[in-house]
Amino acid sequence: MKRIKFMMLVGVLLLLFGCAGIGPPTVSRDRFDYTAAISDSWKNQMLFNMVKIRYGDAPVFLDVSSVISQYQIAGALNLGATINYPPSSGSGSLGWAGTYVERPTITYTPIMGDKFARSLMSPVPPPAILSLIQAGYPVNFVFRLLVQEINGVRNRFGGEARARSADPEFYSLIEKMRQIQSSGAIGMRFTRKEKEEATFMVMRGERDPAIEALSAEVRKILGLNSHAKEFNVVYGAVPRDDKEIAILTRSILEVLIDVSADIEVPAAHVEEKRVGSNPCGGGSQGWKDFALG
């Protein structure tokens, strides 16, 4: 009978612990675990595709579109006893059964076709770039990453097929803009004009002679009006007049191509023509020595 009582106790404890492991406690645990797993997989996938691009291969992205996790636990405890006369004769029985089922359903969707074109090949809209700057992201980093050309001043591009170095004044331009941004003298304004949203960049430096001098240098590099404080921002390579800033932006795919150009590869692979050397030579025009300010 002692053995039967011990088995009953173990069965009840297992059932109770099993019930405590599901329900509300799974929310915080599963959310954190799935978030960490999806985040790490995205980083690994991005790095893998950047290496593929460096070797001239086409990138392939697989999106995790949904995660559904279901739990089920069930248990049953049966106890029976038979007592005969005399008391020394008798029999007893104990039965316990339990089941635990976890059914995670994860759906993957390849990014291809129209979705690939919209998410990876479409240029980033200029208002999105200016919103990043307005939110406090360093303008030199944002422009180096997402801008191909601004008012005819061209950025570096590391893609082997159309590699080119940056114009000499490009890095000077974005560093000066970063100093102006740090002082709070760059602002953005969004208005609706004839059913279309218009974006304006505002430069103000009257309160600080040093910032005003930097603002004058930025205007000179971009060919902007020296007295205007507000400039219309459009997508394109050529401005209409000296009160307009034309920004030719990159797509996410172009960003990946440019960044992947600075991935170091074995010298043997370059000699075997499996991969090309860095088209722009890395250095200060790459990402290794680029200061985020």
Cβ-based neighbour number of residue 261 at 10 Å: 25
pLDDT digits (tens, 9 = 90+) for 74-114: 666 565 655 555 555 556 565 666 676 778 889 999 988 88
CB under 8 A, 24+ apart: contacts of 268-276 = 274/55, 275/54, 275/55, 275/56, 276/56, 276/160
Dihedral, 224, 225, 231, 232 alpha carbons, nearest 10: -70
Q: Is the pLDDT of residue 206 over 80?
A: no
Please give the pLDDT value at position 284.
44
pLDDT digits (tens, 9 = 90+) for 154-186: 999 987 778 888 999 999 999 999 999 988 888
Please give the pLDDT value at position 12.
53
Share of the chain above pLDDT 70, in %: 75
Q: Is the pLDDT of residue 242 over 70?
A: yes
Mean pLDDT of 16-44: 78
Conformation bin of residue 252: beta by default, left when phi > 0, alpha when psi is -120 to 50: alpha
Q: What is the mean pLDDT of the chain?
A: 81
Confidence bin at 134 (pLDDT 50/70/90): confident
Please give the pLDDT value at position 97.
67
Mean pLDDT of 181-204: 78
Contact 249, 124 (CB under 8 A): yes
Least confident segment among 106-115, 197-206, 234-243: 197-206
